[in-house]
Amino acid sequence: MNSSYFHLGDFYWRKESQTLFHKTNTDSTFQGVSSLTKKQYDLLCCLIDAHPAVVDKETIVENVWETKHISSESLPQLINRTRQVLGDHDKNILVNEPGKGYRLNFTTLETENINDESKEMSIDEHEEKLVSKIDAPLVNKPWIMLITLSLVVVVIFQCCSLYSVLYHKLIFNSIVTSTPYPYITEKNDQTIVTIDNHECIYYQDQQLLSCP
């Protein structure tokens, strides 16, 4: 095919790219873009290059997988995933010809202008504009930055709380499992604590240790 631009259902596609983009039928604003995987891209290229001929399954397998040895489910799964990306629910874009293979139903575009906001804007410029919107830095989306910052604050708070809990648990366990001081006796209603062979009096009500 000489043309590099194709109209697949609701999508517009430039053959040299793995990006699909489209607009709604109710207005002329773009609603988003989709990306083709490498195998989906190779599948569409194979069918477009062979157009208008129907491509048999063996040829598709050789072009997409570059081998003849694949699972019997690999091609049907690729066809289904590609139809999902294209929104081809009625199977009118990626058409199955029973007993023959598959063909692609599309129209070609040369320099059609797709967005009414600029009559002279080419498809290449539209694609660049759409992709740049998707890849725009987060700084241009304040609500995303706000949500991200909030999540970071919550995570930091939770980490601090977890650290505090673990620290106090460690202290508690060390107290519970600690060995009592062995040189404590009661004498004349007094608590005597022997330290280095020297007797000290412990006043519990004052939490005071007196060593005369």
- Where are the extended beta strands (E) located within 9-70? 11-14, 19-23, 30-35
Average pLDDT over residues 175-189: 79
Q: Is the per-residue pLDDT at 58 higher than 80?
A: yes
DSSP 3-state of 152: helix
Whole-prediction pTM:
0.51
Position 11 scores a pLDDT of 86
Handedness of CA 106, 109, 115, 116 (dihedral sign): negative
Average pLDDT over residues 53-69: 91
Name 71's bridge partners.
none
Distance from C-alpha of 183 to C-alpha of 177, rounded to nearest angstrom: 18
Question: Per mean pLDDT, which range of 3-12, 45-54, 131-140 is the poorest?
Answer: 131-140
